């Protein structure tokens, strides 16, 4: 019989997230170490919660460690093993202490980390395993490459591999579901699944309010002669583009005023970047340089690559609310048209019009319709995923 090498003992505290570099090399999806997860980061409906550190690769092929959560349902595994949902979370920022697996009541991203738990607990109550990546650089070494599609895809897929190594009772039947940043990430995960993790049986992908049209959003700030909290995304878009092409120099893209606060992406959540003393306090007309230079050319290429019009060999469901104030219907509906052209007969679109009820959540000011779409769509989403993940085939 083959010898099974035991995993190294996981360290306590935040050291868990920063392994020696010698442990990074290996096959993507292998487990570096894991430990039980408690507190508010854990899913209440799970039989067990673990935080796992697993091997992956960045888009340049370098070995990295990525963290995330693995949760098993209370039900016994069915014949063939638990179906598994890989959840792709929405924007929380790029500071390490914002990672969902590191969530605590004092975390500046706590509100946004907690909101998906209601949906994820419903997945568990269906008898499905749930895994959720923190994404590359969020909680671990390096800067988080925001909206860099291939990076996010690898995080989403490799945690499924890691979970199946920890728990052989998890099957290969996979659904990918995500919201906002995670909606865009979910589409990239589904696109890359056949080549990155060919052993997985991808049954479907559901993207709620997926980010799209990133290039237009980034450069559109030049026409806005006032400061807005939404300009926090300018800094995040730039971090993702730099991860894709390190030749991009932020000092060649941002004005001196914006460049002076660009370091905030390392320490603040998205909400912190929206504050008046950060990107949220700078007029759109004063954010970006207008002079043409190599960094702007490279940046444009990377932003175009973030657009999730992708070939996907699985059923696709897109959800959008007309009332959503953060991801606009005017961006999502054209994306759906493109996806339908790219993937004939595989795309379903659930648009909640302004005449339909959409929750604003318990915190309308900070969560609003954007997160309320997840609450409102949950019954229809669950039925659709169940039909693809469990019933069909």
**pLDDT value of position 2:** 45
Provide mean pLDDT across the span 35-60: 97
Nearest-angstrom CA–CA distance, 280 and 201: 43
Q: Quick one: which of 226, 284, 236 has its CA closest to 135?
A: 236
- pLDDT digits over 174-192, tens only? 999 999 999 999 999 999 9
pLDDT digits (tens, 9 = 90+) for 65-122: 999 999 999 999 999 999 999 999 999 988 899 999 999 999 999 999 999 999 999 9
CATH 3.10.20.340 fits 26-212+314-391, yes or no: no
**CA separation for the pair 352, 140 (Å, rounded):** 37
Q: Which residues pair with 93 in a beta bridge?
A: 269
DSSP assigned state of 288: B
| Cα-based angle 222, 226, 230 (whole degrees, multiple of 5) | 75
Per-residue pLDDT reduced to its tens digit, 4-45? 567 888 999 999 999 999 999 999 999 999 999 999 999 999
Partnered with residue 68 across adjacent β-strands are 52, 133
The stretch 145-166 carries a mean pLDDT of: 97
| Orientation angle between helical segments 149-166 and 181-196, nearest 10 degrees | 70
Question: How confident is the model over 233-260, as pLDDT tens digits?
Answer: 999 999 999 999 999 999 999 999 999 9
Give ranges for CATH 3.40.50.1820 in the chain: 26-212+314-391
On whether the pTM is more than 0.75, the answer is: yes
Q: What pLDDT does 291 receive?
A: 84
More confident residue, 4 or 132: 132
Residue 3 reports pLDDT greater than 50: no
Q: What is the pLDDT of residues 326-360, one digit of tens each?
A: 999 999 999 999 999 999 999 999 999 999 999 99
Q: Chain-wide mean pLDDT for the chain?
A: 95
How much is the pLDDT for 1?
Answer: 41
**pLDDT surpasses 70 at 147:** yes
């Amino acid at each position: 019989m083959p010898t099974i090498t035991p995993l190294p003992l996981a360290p306590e505290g935040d050291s868990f997230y920063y392994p020696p570099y010698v442990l990074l090399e290996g096959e993507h999806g292998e487990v570096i170490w894991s430990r039980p997860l408690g507190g508010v980061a854990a899913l209440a409906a799970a039989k067990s919660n673990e935080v796992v550190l697993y091997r992956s690769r960045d888009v340049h092929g370098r070995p990295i460690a990525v963290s995330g959560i693995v949760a098993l349902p209370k039900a016994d595994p069915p014949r063939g093993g638990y179906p598994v949902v890989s959840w792709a979370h929405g924007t929380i920022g790029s500071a390490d202490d914002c990672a969902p697996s590191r969530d605590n009541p004092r975390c500046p991203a706590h509100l946004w980390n907690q909101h998906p738990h209601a949906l994820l607990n419903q997945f568990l109550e269906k008898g499905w395993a749930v895994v959720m990546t923190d994404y590359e650089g969020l909680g671990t070494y390096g800067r988080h490459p925001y909206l860099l599609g291939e990076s996010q895809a690898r995080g989403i897929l490799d945690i499924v591999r890691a979970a199946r190594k920890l728990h052989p009772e998890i099957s290969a039947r996979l659904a990918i579901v995500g919201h906002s940043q995670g909606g865009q990430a979910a589409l990239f995960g589904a696109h890359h699944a056949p080549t990155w993790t060919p052993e997985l049986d991808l049954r479907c992908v559901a993207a709620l309010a997926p980010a799209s049209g990133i290039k237009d959003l980034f450069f559109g700030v030049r026409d806005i002669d006032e400061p807005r909290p939404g300009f926090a995304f300018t800094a995040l878009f730039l971090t993702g583009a730099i991860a894709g092409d390190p030749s991009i120099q932020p000092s060649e893209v941002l004005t001196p005023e914006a460049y002076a606060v660009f370091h905030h992406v390392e320490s603040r959540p998205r909400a912190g970047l929206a504050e008046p003393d950060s990107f949220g306090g700078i007029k759109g007309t004063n954010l970006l340089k207008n002079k043409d230079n190599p960094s702007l050319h490279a940046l444009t290429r990377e932003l175009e690559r973030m657009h999730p019009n992708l070939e996907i060999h699985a059923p696709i469901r897109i959800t959008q609310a007309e009332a959503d104030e953060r991801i606009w219907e005017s961006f999502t509906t054209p994306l759906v048209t493109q996806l339908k052209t790219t993937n004939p007969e595989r795309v379903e679109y659930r648009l909640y019009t302004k005449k339909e009820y959409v929750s604003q959540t318990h915190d309308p000011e900070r969560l609003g319709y954007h997160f309320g779409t997840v609450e409102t769509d949950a019954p229809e989403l669950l039925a659709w995923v169940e039909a693809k993940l469990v019933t069909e085939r």
